[in-house]
Amino acid sequence: MKPGTKLKSQVCDTEVMVIRCGTGRIECGGAAMAEDKPAEPGTPAEGLAGGALMGKRYVDAAGAFELLCVKPGKGSLAVDGVILSIKDAKPLPASD
Amino acid sequence: MNIALFLEMAAEAAPERIGLVCDGRRWSYGELLAGARGAARSIVEAGCSHVALLDESSEAAIFALFGAALAGVPYCPLNYRLADADLGALLGRIAPALVIGDVARASRLCPGNLNRSRGDFVSTALSAQPLDEAADGEGIAIQLFTSGTTAAPKAAILRHANLVSYILGTVEFACADESDAALVSVPPYHIAGISALLSSIYAQRRIVMLPAFSPEAWLALAEAEAVSNAFVVPTMLSRILDALERDGTPRLPALRAVAYGGGKMPFEVIDKALTRLPQVGFTNAYGLTETSSTIALLGPDDHRVAHGSADPQVRARLASVGRPLPTVELEIRDEDGRVLPAGMPGEIFVRGDQVSGEYREKSALTADGWFPTRDAGYLDAEGYLFLSGRADDVIVRGGENMSPGEIEDVLLTHPAIADACAVGVPSVEWGEAVGVALVLREGHARPDEAELCRLVRERLRSSRVPEVIRFEPALPYNEMGKLLRREVRKLFAA
């Protein structure tokens, strides 16, 4: 997987763009994300329906993965079953 | 990665929201994306190697920027103020290009390009079958010719990855209120004019375009559109303040944030701005074309603290360009590449994903990814960056390096001096000596040379004392407020 790849959830509307990527399975709502939408969308697994917010960046604790949510949805983003957290960026004043 | 993502996200999140106001026409994010997709189709069909804009700001700049990105063709806005010979040379360097704007001039200066008027380009974009599959964005998003204040223009290239990294690192998606509006008055061929479009669209801050700057037009548009944010170059701010002064009444109630950059801000201009516009937060943004715009900034709080302080050290910070962004590394190095400690002047090096440092001809990056900016400066003990001119402008007198900025700053403290420029002038004894061109402040008598020399000797050291002093009616600046030192050097050679 290379940066710039767009991945789609198999269980909700969520879409992400990969900004940084290590080794592991990128998931949404408990199911692996893929470059194509499924014919029949499933539902997020129990406890994995925390939602993905538009424009937020999601990262793992080790800093190996970073995903930008480009379409929001119901599923929680995770890598190998570990839920990702929203990247906390210090707001900067508008410079242009 | 592809910068078209930013417009796609804005249109996905709020298709009906107004993203652009230009010449009285309002465009929603949905309409802007449709225009960019139609433009992409016409760019692909044109079979060109570059998309050039030879025109003032308009919706065509947004269609061309994102349309070129979707089509996978570099976007290359050109400086329409260049003389025919210079512009003709640049048009030749990007052929075969699709040139949008001044058809008559483009075809007169360079055959072999496909030229289209703004109206034709926009109406074709709006009626074409949209191209919505983005091209692989590993390539070049933007090619900008540097202003060439020291040499012939270089073709700097910015990749999609550089610009995506810059925007994601500095702007929070959809962080603007629906009432927010950003007044964009820098020309489309300047990196600040491009980053303003990208940042505002990603923040979902309505862009209000002012194609031709005048202080009166800027004030009128800022008020009519209740503008909250603006970016200006120092000369624009100075002229806006003069217009406010003439007017006398309090104005700009909606204005909250003004960022500035593109050239050295005179201390007295920013000092006056802080006094005259107490409700506004000022941000000094320092960056280069080759770094995808801003790499360091001095924020609103720093400005207010410096402005309100009686401590000269703290006040001096108003002349700083602030601290490096958290996403870039910045070092000051000497001529042998050694990293210098705080307080020591040298060349500014930067590294980060937003830094391209790449030209058509070659990359200027070091083996480990650092970009030598050719800007000279130093960091103070608190990590604030101070600029002292271009590294190429350093005056070497008898083996001693001196930055023109420190000499100019001292001369500018004299009440009779309105503007100053120090350059190296040929010297038989020293190789180079200091020459200064000065502008007298109106209503003041010309100070004698001995007095000026004494001022420099007392504040700096004797090697900095000017050998030649000239008085000029004005110093030469380009339209972005950049001092043209090579022109000043010519005055001494004449």
With CA atoms as reference, the chain B residue closest to A70 would be B9
ipTM reported for the complex, 2 dp: 0.95
Inside any domain, residue B325? no
Whether B270 and B401 map to the same domain: the answer is no
CB contact under 8 A, B297 and A93: yes
CATH number, domain with residue B91: 3.40.50.12780
Any CB–CB contact under 8 A between B285 and chain A? yes
Average pLDDT over residues B367-383: 94
The lowest-confidence range among B99-103, B261-265, B470-474 is B261-265
Residue B384 inside a domain? The answer is no
More confident residue, B406 or B130: B130
Does residue B137 have a pLDDT over 60?
no
The reply to whether A70 touches chain B by the CB within 8 Å rule is yes
- Domain end among B318, B349, B369: B318
> Considering the domain boundaries, does residue B195 fall inside one?
yes
Kindly list the residues from chain A whose CB atom is less than 8 angstroms away from the CB atom of residue B8: 70
B 14-53 residues with CB < 8 A to A: none
B193 to chain A, closest Cα gap in Å: 8
Which of B270, B292, B318 is the last residue before a domain boundary? Answer: B318
Min Cα distance A93 → chain B (Å) is 7
Question: Residue B473 is part of which domain span?
Answer: 394-493
Confirm or reject contact between A86 and chain B (CB < 8 A).
no
Q: Does A35 touch chain B (CB under 8 A)?
A: no
Whether B377 is covered by a domain: the verdict is: no
**What is the pLDDT confidence band of residue B399, given thresholds at 50, 70 and 90?**
confident
CB contact under 8 A, B281 and A93: yes
Q: Map tokens 């790499």 to a residue.
A: B295
**What residues of chain B, 152 to 171, have a C-beta less than 8 Å from chain A?**
160-161, 168-171
Selection from A81-95, B21-35, B383-397 with the highest mean pLDDT: B21-35
Q: Chain B 417-456, CB below 8 Å of chain A: which residues? A: none
pLDDT band, residue B138 (cuts 50/70/90): low
> B203: which chain A residues are within 8 Å (Cβ-Cβ)?
94
In this prediction, residue A90 carries a pLDDT of 82
- For residue A86, the distance in angstroms to the closest alpha carbon of chain B comes to 12
Provide the number of CB pairs (under 8 Å) joining chain A to chain B. 77
B360-367 mean pLDDT: 93
Which residues of chain A make contact with B169, given a CB cutoff of 8 A?
A: 89
What was the pLDDT predicted at B250?
66
CB atoms within 10 A of CB B18: 18
CA-nearest of B144, B163, B140 to B155 is B144
pLDDT tens, residue by residue, B221-239: 999 999 999 999 998 999 9
Task: CATH number of the domain at B449, please.
Answer: 3.30.300.30
**In chain A, where the domains are located:** 6-86
**Of residues B35 and B337, which shows the higher confidence score?**
B35
What pLDDT does B493 receive?
84
A71 CB neighbours in chain B (<8 A) are 12
pLDDT tens digit sequence for B162-179: 999 999 999 999 999 999
pLDDT at B396 over 90: no
How sure is the predictor about B284, in pLDDT bands with cuts at 50, 70 and 90? very high
CB-nearest partner of A57 from B168, B195, B199 = B168
Whether B311 and B403 share a structural domain: no
Of B273, B292, B318, which residue constitutes the final position of a domain? Answer: B318
Number of other CB atoms surrounding residue B362 within 10 Å: 8
- Count of domains in chain B? 2
Which residue in the set A19, A70, A96 is minimally distant from B9, CB to CB?
A70
Same domain, B272 and B131: yes
CB within 8 Å: A3 and B2 = no
Indicate the average pLDDT of chain B. 93
Percentage of residues in chain B with pLDDT exceeding 70? 98
Of the candidates A3, A17, A91, the beta carbon closest to that of B5 is on: A17
Q: Per the CB < 8 Å rule, is A56 touching B173? A: yes
